[in-house]
Amino acid sequence: MGLKHNIDLSVNIGKLKLKNPIITASGTFGYADEFDEYIDVSSLGAIVTKGITLEPWKGNPQPRVQDVNNGLINRIGLENMGIYSFIEQKLPILRKKNISFIINIAGSSEEEYVKLAKISQDNSIEAIELNLSCPNVKQGCLEFGKDPDTLYRLVSSIREVYQGTLIAKLTSNISYPAQMAELVQKAGADAISAINTVKAMHVSLNCNNNKFEKTIIQGGLSGPAIKPISLSFINEIRPVVDIPIIGMGGITYVQDVLEFLSVGANALQIGTANFTHPTISEQLVDDLGEILIKNNKKSLKEMF
């Protein structure tokens, strides 16, 4: 960060004390070391690892991504090395960087989530984000985030074994966001991140022998196309919860950051923009600081 003025961009998310509200979103930033040649990751508020499961997952077959108007559909399927390899290979790298990080965990059963949380606790991982809402895997994740009773039981069970900062990542593929937000707070979540990708489909048509043949890619839509959905979601849940909200969904410019903050987000995750502009997260930190300086403010709290 190039700013030298005495400004305060810090924000607290549970027990995490972040130097600024800019966080990289799960699945868009690898395990952080992949971006070393582009930015100084220590300038960011925090990074979220790609989704981590109990055992290694191969993910879905190709094709896995599809560009669409103002967005991207992905069906990666949570390809990852598994929690044990992560702890052995990646956790030491993250700790050496001396940055705030959050690991995103995903399971296909309540037992898997609880075990992942217990392993995180045993390895002194300070923050986990529960992937309760991934629309591009065949089991788990999305279903946990759609059923109120299951969601409450799952978050409560994880809270029993995990003492660090617990973040629940919610889906927009529901019709009662306020109820679900209240539930995860009551169950013991320290923060909410919203929204995950939106369930979507892309259709390609090819004319063969005077008949159309279609190719379908189903997965999660991200990018600017979902920004209005995310803003609406956060605006709806903000009045019913006291815990911090981490907003995401199409954030590309500092104006987007300000809009999310104005409707009640406390921090922001940058996702799809990392693919096309690898330096975007660091740039947004600088841009946010410049906004404060331009308006003669010393902290974000003075802006809203």
Does the bond joining 195 to the residue before it have cis omega, within 30 degrees of 0?
yes
Angle at 279 between CA 192 and CA 22, to 5 degrees: 25
DSSP string covering 24-86, please? EPTTSSTTSGGGTTT--GGGSSEEEPPPB-SS-B--PPSP-EEEETTEEEE-----B--HHHI
Q: Which residues have a Cβ under 8 Å from the Cβ of 14 and sit 6 or more positions away?
A: 127, 164, 165, 166, 167, 190, 191, 243, 244
Angle at 154 between CA 170 and CA 57, to 5 degrees: 75
Assess whether 141 carries a catalytic annotation. Answer: no
Are 104 and 90 contacting, i.e. CB atoms less than 8 angstroms apart? no
Phi-psi label, residue 296: left if phi above 0, alpha if psi -120 to 50, beta otherwise? left
Q: Please tell me which residue in 54, 76, 91, 134 is annotated as part of the active site.
A: 134
Q: Which residues are catalytic?
A: 134
